Structure 1
């Protein structure tokens, strides 16, 4: 049984949903495999400055806070959001794939750390230095990690991941899929509480046993 979390590092609702997935991972106590894939929400021609989304995010972030319990930091709302810094999902998505080569079991934790760094600390995910600081907690080799972050192989793998998510028909984030080994089931679309998510998973497991 594999739980596949489909997210994007720049997605505000994903910032709110990742703690739910982390709780689910903790509760499963090794009975279920967990994976996290990046959807490529803002790449290529879709890239734009944070300031172009400032009005929308300023309105929407309070909804995310109220529904999920996460907090957006003043450094993000007052400093990064009005800036000309470019929103680009690719680099943090590549970073996640590189991280998975070292510690796949901690990949969702690392993804959440990136989200906190962006949405609370207001630190750009476009800088190599950001990743040097993030991986210290996990004891990873910094220079090797940064070298892999710029390796075309990992960029290609990440692009293939974006394509896979598109092929699955997932266009909004967050989403979650349960792979029973026989079939893929969509078990979350948008933010979902832990209780509702667990209930959906239990129902899918019951249903898959009867097939």
Structure 2
């Protein structure tokens, strides 16, 4: 009996700590030949929800990040806590990294790979991922040509992608990020991400169930 091909729908935000905590699950899913991954960008830090860096933000996220690290093993670097989050000249803004990921997809590149590189740069390395120069460097690390990436980045319109993502969030009954659902044939099943955090093997087993 042939194994049905499935699509894993992933509603995410690149600057969501729990999405970073879920990264090992998505990396594991990407190894399955029978599963395709579709990314749907959310808007956690957009418009009026953007947050200025500084001690207040650090004090707010630090206990959440500690819990994420304890549950998932994902590393949060000292430069993230004690340099990036304290730089009040910067703004926590999801738009630039989302636009970069959409640009990678428009060029036929691996959106998930760039998302996870952006996440590790932000949370592990304490790098500001809100400017085009940094995002271009990360994209070229993955093999994208600089000029083509910059052009694609400037062409991306966020609103259509964000509207589509909100549709998927509703279809999957999600309350925020990350939200995951598995589709095949006429089936669409939400996946409770919290049940698998820190356990990619169990997540793979779930994806391969009939």
In which range does the TM-score fall when normalised by the shorter chain?
0.7 to 0.9
- 1:163-184 deviation per Cα after TM superposition (whole angstroms, max 9, x unaligned): 3244434232222110113132
- Within the candidate set 140, 161, 166, 1:163 is matched to 166
- Within the candidate set 178, 181, 186, 1:177 is matched to 181
Name the structure 1 match of 2:98: 93
Partners of 2:164 and 2:194 in 1: CA distance: 19
SS in 1 for 2:40: strand
TM-score normalised by length of structure 2:
0.85
- Whether the 8 Å contact between 1:18 and 1:108 is mirrored in structure 2 is no
- 1:27-82 deviation per Cα after TM superposition (whole angstroms, max 9, x unaligned): x1x11212222121121111111324211212222211111111111111101112
SS in 1 for 2:39: strand
User: Aligned pair 1:136/2:143, yes or no?
Assistant: no
Name the structure 2 match of 1:2: 7
Name the structure 2 match of 1:119: 123
Partners of 2:124 and 2:16 in 1: CA distance: 13
How far is 1:109 from its partner? 1.5
Decide which structure has greater helix share: 1
How far is 1:202 from its partner? 4.2
SS in 1 for 2:157: helix
Name the structure 2 match of 1:22: 27
- Whether the 8 Å contact between 2:107 and 2:149 is mirrored in structure 1 is no
How far is 1:128 from its partner? 0.6
**What 5-or-longer segments of structure 1 have no aligned partner?**
206-211
How many equivalent pairs are there?
A: 200
SS in 1 for 2:34: coil
- Whether the 8 Å contact between 1:76 and 1:123 is mirrored in structure 2 is yes
TM-score normalised by length of structure 1:
0.85
- Whether the 8 Å contact between 1:91 and 1:125 is mirrored in structure 2 is yes
**What 5-or-longer segments of structure 2 have no aligned partner?**
1-5
- Whether the 8 Å contact between 2:18 and 2:178 is mirrored in structure 1 is yes
SS in 2 for 1:150: helix
Shift of the 119–14 alpha-carbon distance from structure 1 to 2, 3 Å rule, reads same
Runs of 4+ in 1 over 4 A off after TM superposition: none
RMSD of aligned alpha carbons: 2.0
Partners of 1:157 and 1:98 in 2: CA distance: 14
Partners of 1:45 and 1:131 in 2: CA distance: 23
- Whether the 8 Å contact between 1:79 and 1:122 is mirrored in structure 2 is yes
- Whether the 8 Å contact between 2:19 and 2:178 is mirrored in structure 1 is yes
